[in-house]
Chain A
Amino acid sequence: MEGFLPENVATLAINFSYLLVAFLFIMGLKAMSSPVTARRGIVVAGFGMLIGTVMSFLYPGMGNFPLMLAAIAIGGGLAWWSGRIVAMTDMPQMIALYNGMGGGAAAAIAAVELLRMAAADPAAGAHHGPIVTTLATAGAFIGSVSFSGSLIAFGKLQGLIKRSFRFKGQQAMNLLVTAATIGLGAWIVISGHPTMEMVVAFFALALLLGVAMTLPIGGADMPVVISLYNAFTGLAVAFEGFVLENAAMIIAGIVVGSAGTLLTQLMAKAMNRSIANVLFSNFGEGAVAATEGVTGALKPIEPSDAGVMMAFAQKVIVIPGYGMAVAQAQHKVWELCQLLIERGVMVRFAIHPVAGRMPGHMNVLLAEAGVPYDLIADLEEINAEFDTADVALVIGANDVVNPVARTDKSSPIYGMPILNADKAKNVLVIKRGQGAGFSGIENHLFYLDNTRMVYGDAQKVAAELIQAVKAAG
């Protein structure tokens, strides 16, 4: 079918528009690195996407336009709808889902190319050179793993897949599947004329690998995995960009690939784990939850007394954890803090890098409740301030305030950076009940002399604290 414009004009226009797209993407991502300009950043990047998409209709020699428009309407419409209704607490799995779709799209591009090679007449010579075929195949591999892996990550975080599937020899099996997939991919490249069966088997193996890799990983490690798959999809997009000679895809894909790799490392570091550790072993495996060495007892306190303690404090540092978000208590907690601020109490929120379900997720949840970002401090900023705080209020957080990470070399969380809540004059812990955190490690903070436990649902306790502060007059 004829294009809308003469071929050379169209190609020139598309290439220049892609230059603009790359520029807008980089400007947008840069703006997103500061809370002041972040909102503008996504709009700028969105504008780039719009230009790129519209200009791509001008590609010479394209057809199937009704199908294309229908596909955009279906995919875009469903994503728009689901993106609007998703709750902020469920954001991590939606990111996983959309990321998986990108990986799937990259794999689909590769599939079309590889199938075309399979269908080509061997006598007519190679359809693509070995470099392009290698890139197409590598993109297909990474994209497929990202696609099926992200879907499993989505299912796990959404609660559709409840348990972690682990069995003996799992890692050996995964290694075998990886080797088989890569071997088959290499065969496709070397042969230059793959058969249909080879291509299908290759995709089936790559998809299986994504599933097998992700199933044994626990929910707490999922953010690292999602971030890793995000970087994977970026790379897959870049590889397919080479195949299609599409500069916008190469630049955007590589930028995301490298940014995503760094982000994955930052997350893993914040959790005191290496990426290899996340992928190939399970949290706390072999670690005995050591309760010995805990001295003292858990000392409960009534919410009314805890409220008075905060009302007459000079400085309160709030440490929210995912437990707060699960209880949907962030609005009540912010209401409490506003009351304290009105009384002249200095209130700060201390966020651990892995609070929430992925780094920065807690900030999103607090922002949703209306907490201004300048009251929120991260770990490095706030840790020096605990000495001067009268009250550290721990809500639904556990391992991130456990002092054994600093002191006990035998603990599985030893070395993980923590919030030094134990340095505050008083520590209040709001907790649903007695029991250890997800890691199963006893929290020594709870047994300290200056710690008081407030038992109950975070939302209910926050409401009671509000009453207590109001009554304090």
Chain B
Amino acid sequence: MEGVIALYIVMLAAFTGYEIIARVPVILHTPLMSGSNFVHGIVLVGAMVALGRADTVLEQVIGFIGVVLGAGNAVGGYVVTERMLQMFKASGQKKKESA
């Protein structure tokens, strides 16, 4: 990737992240922290590439650990975030669901 283009990506992504959080009500801080924790679970794809291109046994072992950890980050982050957000309901919303 071209170095300068990458810097553009970094700058825009940094502003995006800042803007997303800046407007979040405090009640969603924990789920959002958990949600952003899930998003960096994308490290899984990097770990997959590292393992996929591993040649020596040592590289395979480290790559394997990387994929296990990355998958744990992605799946665990998703499950707990989804469980937390599932519970947020407005008044009256519950009746609708049970009907």
Within 8 A of A (CB), among B28-55: 28-54
The reply to whether A88 and B84 form a contact with Cβ atoms under 8 Å apart is yes
Q: Which residue of the partner chain, among B6, B20, B92, contacts A29 with CB atoms under 8 Å?
A: B20
The reply to whether B68 and A86 form a contact with Cβ atoms under 8 Å apart is no
The reply to whether A360 and B14 form a contact with Cβ atoms under 8 Å apart is no
B residues within 8 A CB of A83? 75-76, 78-80, 83
Closest residue of chain B to A86 (Cβ to Cβ) is: B80
A residues within 8 A CB of B29? 263, 266-267, 353, 358-360
Can you list, as one digit per residue, whether each of A32-60 has a CB less than 8 Å from chain B (1) or not (0)? 11111011011101100100110011010
The reply to whether A68 and B33 form a contact with Cβ atoms under 8 Å apart is no
The reply to whether A82 and B28 form a contact with Cβ atoms under 8 Å apart is no
Within 8 A of A (CB), among B7-39: 9-10, 13-18, 20-39
C-alpha gap A46/B42 in the complex (Å) = 10
Q: Report the minimum CB–CB distance from B6 to chain A (whole Å).
A: 6
Closest residue of chain B to A341 (Cβ to Cβ) is: B91
Known contacts A46-B78, A95-B34, A359-B30: does B88 contact A35 (CB below 8 Å)?
A: yes
Chain B interface mostly: helix
Q: Which residue of the partner chain, among B9, B13, B33, contacts A358 with CB atoms under 8 Å?
A: B33
A256 interface contact, C-beta 8 A: yes
A residues within 8 A CB of B27? 35, 351, 360, 363, 373, 376, 378
B residues within 8 A CB of A206? none
The reply to whether B40 and A111 form a contact with Cβ atoms under 8 Å apart is no
A112 interface contact, C-beta 8 A: yes
A residues within 8 A CB of B60? 64, 67
C-alpha gap A379/B78 in the complex (Å) = 29
Known contacts A42-B38, A91-B30, A248-B45: does B50 contact A108 (CB below 8 Å)?
A: yes
A/B interface sample: 13 pairs, CB < 8 A: A32-B32, A35-B28, A36-B90, A42-B31, A45-B38, A62-B53, A71-B64, A91-B30, A112-B63, A240-B46, A358-B30, A360-B32, A370-B89
Q: Top 9 A-B pairs ranked by shortest CB distance?
A: A62-B52, A108-B66, A83-B79, A79-B76, A75-B71, A360-B29, A258-B17, A71-B67, A102-B73
Interface residues of A, Cβ cutoff 8 Å to B: 21, 25-26, 28-30, 32-36, 38-39, 41-43, 45-46, 49, 52-53, 56-57, 59, 61-65, 67-68, 70-72, 74-80, 82-84, 86, 88, 91-92, 94-95, 97-99, 101-102, 104-106, 108-109, 111-113, 115-116, 119, 131, 147, 226-227, 230, 233-234, 236-238, 240-242, 244-260, 262-263, 266-267, 270, 351, 353, 356, 358-361, 363-364, 367-368, 370, 372-376, 378-379
